[in-house]
Every structure is written in structure tokens, then in C-alpha cells.
């Protein structure tokens, strides 16, 4: 999947992947996609809740080789 | 309109303050308007290291000497062991790539979390605005907190 911005949160625990995702999304424009790589086992659930609360669209959530990869499309404010 | 959340930070321990700031930064990241009301021992998290030396009366002076402010002086609620446990916890947190309490507070401010300091406790302890870090947005009382809490969908007391 194509993403304009990539964020590597490997080896970071809650709340950092979500806080850093928010910081990146603030800098992006609506329609752009953020790819987040994370290893925190809580991340899949957290990123779903984050998208549900903020209205950003979770395009895909994958797991491979112990890493989670989420693709989030920024919604218009 | 953004959902609101409030936290009363009553406790003055490092682990409890970390829990408060973890939830506060996450909520702010999720688009919530977050207010933290610092009262009683919780004020120690936003007090300057050297605060309270000029308080009036020997009892207040002694109290502020024993009840030291500043993030570096916050003990753990368990296994602090006169600071040994605290140092170990900080080392383990660093090894786990977790931000320190100081970094969490700075993050919270960047994310727009509002800090309110309780004027009742400040008055009782003989402190003033000069004893607090610049993060404090407002010095106010319980009514101000409740004004926010009434609109809050999540209100925590830590």
C-alpha cells in the first residue's frame, strides 16, 4: 500500500505510537496516508480505537514478522 | 465539539503521575480536550525543585523541606527504597524507550493539555505562582475543576 508518510514506532510502548501518530497526522493534509510500524502488542487495538475516536480512516492493519503495520488516511478536520 | 476529559492528580508519586500523563497524552492524541487539576501531593509534580523555601512560619518551612517538590523528588508508591527503586524504575523505563515524566509533561503541553493548580493547597502550604513550573495555565479552585468535569465524558481521580 502507498503511504505519503512513514512512522517507525518499533520497540516503543503505549502511549508513544498513538501520540507520535497524532503528531504526524497534525503535519499532514487531508487525504494523505500514514504508515505506522509498531511492535507493541496493544497497538492493533489502540490504533483501531484511535481511528474510531478521531475519524481518520484505518485502511489496513497487517502483521508480519512480529511487526504491525497500519495505514491511516487523514480525514478532513 | 471535542469530548472532554478531566483528571484530578491528588497523588505525589512518580508511578501515579506517569499513569495520569499516559492517559492524558493518549486522550489528547485522540482529539479530546484534557484538563489536569493538580491538588495536594499532586502539586509536587509541577512544583519547582527549590520551591517552598520562603513559606511563612516554621511549620510550613519544615513541611516544604520534607515534602520536596519537583519531578525528580517524586517517590514510587511501592519499592521506592529511599530512591533506589526509583532509579531502577527510571533505568528500566529508559531501556523500554518510554519517555520520562518530564518528557511526558512536555508532550502533554504540546498536545494542548491544560494544567490547573489548586489554590487551596497552594495557600495552605504557603506557596505561590513563583514556586511552580511555567506549564501551569491557571490557578483555581474546585468550582473551576467541576465546571470542566461536568462536561467531561471521562473524569479520573488519581
Per-residue model confidence as pLDDT tens digits over A29-69: 999 999 999 999 999 999 999 999 999 999 999 999 999 99
Take residue A45 and report the three cell numbers written for it: 487495538
Residue B137 buriedness (CB in 10 A; 0-12 / 13-18 / 19+) = middle
| Residues of chain B predicted below pLDDT 70 | none
Of the pLDDT bands very low, low, confident and very high (cuts 50, 70, 90), residue A1 is confident
What's the pTM?
0.93
Nearest CA in chain A to B25: A19
Give the torsion through C-alpha atoms of B56, B63, B123, B109, to 10 deg: 120
pLDDT over 80 at A77, yes or no: no
Report the side by side order of strands in the sheet with B33-38.
B138-140, B114-118, B33-38, B4-9, B152-157
What secondary structure letter does DSSP report for B47? B
Nearest CA in chain A to B93: A13
CA angle A48, B31, B99 (to 5 degrees): 80
Say how far apart CA B30 and CA A22 lie, in whole Å.
8
B33-55 per-position pLDDT tens digit:
999 999 999 999 999 988 888 88
Mean pLDDT of chain B: 95
Say how far apart CA A34 and CA A9 lie, in whole Å.
12
What secondary structure letter does DSSP report for B42? G
B22, B97, B110: residue with CB nearest A15: B22
The reported pLDDT for the residue numbered B50 is 83
In total, the C-beta contacts within 8 angstroms joining chain A to chain B are 39
Quote the minimal CA–CA distance from A2 to chain B in Å: 24
Q: What is the DSSP string of B88-119?
A: HHHHHHHHTTPPPHHHHHHHHHHTT-EEEEEH
Amino acid at each position: 500500500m502507498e503511504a505519503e508518510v512513514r512512522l517507525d514506532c518499533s520497540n516503543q510502548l503505549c502511549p508513544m505510537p498513538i501520540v507520535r501518530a497524532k503528531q504526524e497526522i497534525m503535519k499532514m493534509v487531508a487525504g494523505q496516508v500514514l504508515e505506522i510500524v509498531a511492535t507493541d502488542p496493544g497497538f492493533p487495538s489502540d490504533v483501531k480505537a484511535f481511528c474510531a475516536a478521531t475519524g481518520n480512516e484505518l485502511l489496513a492493519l497487517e502483521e508480519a514478522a512480529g511487526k504491525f503495520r497500519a495505514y491511516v488516511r487523514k480525514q478532513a478536520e | 465539539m471535542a469530548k472532554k476529559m478531566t483528571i484530578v492528580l491528588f497523588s505525589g508519586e512518580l508511578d501515579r503521575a506517569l499513569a495520569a500523563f499516559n492517559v492524558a497524552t493518549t486522550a489528547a492524541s485522540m482529539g479530546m480536550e484534557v484538563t489536569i487539576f493538580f491538588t495536594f501531593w499532586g502539586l509536587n509534580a509541577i512544583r519547582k525543585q527549590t520551591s517552598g523555601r520562603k513559606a511563612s512560619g516554621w511549620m510550613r518551612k519544615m513541611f516544604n523541606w520534607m515534602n520536596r517538590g519537583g519531578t525528580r523528588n517524586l517517590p514510587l508508591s511501592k519499592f521506592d527504597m529511599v530512591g533506589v527503586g526509583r532509579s531502577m524504575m527510571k533505568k528500566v523505563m529508559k531501556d523500554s524507550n518510554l519517555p520520562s515524566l518530564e518528557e511526558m509533561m512536555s508532550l502533554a503541553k504540546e498536545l494542548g493539555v491544560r494544567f490547573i493548580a489548586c489554590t487551596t493547597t497552594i495557600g495552605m502550604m504557603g506557596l505561590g505562582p513563583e514556586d511552580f513550573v511555567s506549564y501551569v495555565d491557571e490557578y483555581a479552585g474546585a468550582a473551576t475543576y467541576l465546571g470542566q468535569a461536568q462536561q467531561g465524558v471521562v473524569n479520573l481521580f488519581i
